[in-house]
Amino acid sequence: MPSSPNTRWQDTAVDQAARARLKGQAPRCIWFTGLSGAGKSTLANALELRLHAQGRHTYLLDGDNVRHGLNRDLGFTQADRTENIRRVAQAARLMTDAGLIVIVSTISPYLSDRQSARALFPQDGFIEVYLNTSIEECERRDPKGLYAKARRGELKDFTGIDSAYEPPVQCELTLDAGQFDVDACVEKIIECLTNRNSI
Ligand SMILES: Nc1ncnc2c1ncn2[C@@H]1O[C@H](COP(=O)(O)OP(=O)(O)O)[C@@H](O)[C@H]1O
Ligand SMILES: [Mg+2]
C-alpha cells in the first residue's frame, strides 16, 4: 500500500515478462533462512556461482552486506529485524521484476516476516530453503566468533541465544548443512529447483 493516497501505480511498457524473456529465464526468489553459522552465505554463494556458470542472470542479497548500505540504519531489535526483512524482500521483489534470479541469505528469524516476504511473489516464485543446522554445530563453527561473544555477554539480541528463531512451518526445502558438505547441499538445492521447474 502506498503511504500517500496521491500516488498511483504507473504501468511500464517493458514489463517483467519482457525482461525475463530477454534473459531466457524465469525470475525467482530463493530465500535462505537459518541460524547464524548455519551456512546461508556459503551455500548462497556456491549456488549463485553454479547458476551463473549455467548462464543465469542472478543477484545475491546477503543480509550482512545489505546492513552495510540500504539497511545501515537498522539494528537487531524485533522492530528493526522486521524492517530489515521488509526492505530485503522488497529489494528482492524489484530484482525479480527486473527478471533476475535473486538469492537471499539472511537469518530472517520471524515466521511472519518471511510470510510477508513470500506474499510479494507468485506461488512458484518464492523458494524458501531452511538450513536447520543444529545450534550446537553453528556454535562449534562460529565463523565470526559471535556465539562466543554472545556467551560472554558482549553481544545482546543474538539469534538462538537471547533472541528467537522461528523455524518455517512449511517451506520448499529443509536442509541440514551440518550433515552434508557444501557440494552435496548445493546438489540438493539444484535438485529442488529443477523439480519445481525453477531453473
Ligand atoms: N555443508 C555446509 N554448508 C555451508 N557451510 C558449511 C558447510 N560445512 C561447513 N560449513 C562452514 O560453516 C560456516 C558457515 O558460515 P556462513 O555461511 O557464514 O553462515 P551464515 O551465513 O548462515 O551465518 C562456514 O565457515 C562454512 O565453511
Ligand atoms: Mg551469512
pTM score of the predicted model: 0.98
Pocket probe mutation, ligand 1, options 141, 149, 174, max atoms within 8 Å of Cβ: 141
**Of residues 35, 16, 38, 37, the one with CA closest to residue 27:** 16
* Nearest by Cα to 122 from 159, 148, 93, 102: 93
Q: What are the start-end ranges of the H helices in 54-77?
A: 63-66
Is the confidence at residue 1, as pLDDT, over 80? no
User: In which band, very low, low, confident or very high, does the pLDDT at 161 lie, cut at 50, 70 and 90?
Assistant: very high
Determine the pLDDT at residue 126.
98
Please write the tens of the pLDDT for every residue from 114-160: 999 999 999 999 999 999 999 999 999 999 999 999 999 999 999 99
36, 41, 105, 108: which is the annotated catalytic residue?
A: 108
Shortest CA distance to 88 belongs to which of 80, 4, 133, 26?
80
pLDDT digits (tens, 9 = 90+) for 33-61: 999 999 999 999 999 999 999 999 999 99
Q: Is the dihedral of CA 110, 35, 156, 92 positive or negative?
A: negative
